[in-house]
Structure 1
Amino acid sequence: MMMKSLTLAAILAVCLPVGLAVAGPISKACMASDRGAGKRTLCTCIQQAADATLSGSDQRRAAKFFRDPENAHATWVSQSASDDAFWERYKSFGATAEAYCAG
């Protein structure tokens, strides 16, 4: 676990220098949400985790969950192979964001 955290931190440090404003779909959705309002640092960190774990299309899809939690639930209970594959990637993103951004 420690090695994975260090590896992710190293990747993010190289790819996204500190202070760089990230305005990706996850960050935008986070900032617009009730939980993210006024928490630019947290939303930027979550975007960095998304950049390290999700494709652009996965990020756009996941960003919709901030506005419509029912969409997340529908994806989770879906029997579709593509939804299942997305959900596995989304769970990986969530675990990465939690490990990297929890303070």
Structure 2
Amino acid sequence: MKKLILAATLLAITAPVAVHAGAIENACIQSDRSRGNRALCGCIQQAADMTLRNADQRRAAGFFRDPHQAQEVRMSKSNADNEFWQRYRSFISAAEGMCAG
């Protein structure tokens, strides 16, 4: 019985943990530009976690699918869009610093 408990404990400790990818990481992995580079996409997600709110991450993830959306937001006269764009630029700067090859 002790061996069974020990084996179950070791399995629980060494079993891979399921990691939930964020919106940015998922969009990056699915992007044609990343070629599924999980390490790079994971790094970009870490930068997003440090600089963007969850809602901002979901919005920015859309830029991977439709880059023109980013241009629309950047050119917008809306205060909300301008505030988002400032946060997004901080994210880009962080990602460039953290994830550059």
TM-score band by shorter chain is 0.7 to 0.9
User: Displaced runs of 4+ in structure 1, greater than 3 A?
Assistant: 19-22
Among the aligned pairs, what percent are the same residue? 55
Which whole-Å CA distance do the structure 1 matches of 2:18 and 2:38 have between them? Answer: 11
Which whole-Å CA distance do the structure 2 matches of 1:42 and 1:21 have between them? Answer: 16
CA shift for structure 1 position 70: 1.1
CA shift for structure 1 position 20: 8.0
Name the counterpart of 2:44.
Answer: 46
Name the counterpart of 2:10.
Answer: none
Q: Encode CA deviations 1:55-101: one digit per residue, 9 max, x unaligned.
A: 00000000000001111110000000000000000000000000001
Q: Encode CA deviations 1:4-60: one digit per residue, 9 max, x unaligned.
A: xxxxxxxxxxxxxxx984510000000000112220000000000000000000000
Q: 1:66 aligns with which of 61, 64, 67?
A: 64
Which whole-Å CA distance do the structure 2 matches of 1:51 and 1:62 have between them? Answer: 12
One-letter amino acid of the structure 1 residue matched with residue 55 of structure 2:
S
The runs of 5 or more residues in structure 1 that have no matched partner are: 1-18
Structure showing greater Rg: 2
Name the counterpart of 2:3.
Answer: none
RMSD between aligned residues: 1.5
Which whole-Å CA distance do the structure 2 matches of 1:21 and 1:102 have between them? Answer: 23
Give the total of aligned pairs.
85
The runs of 5 or more residues in structure 2 that have no matched partner are: 1-16
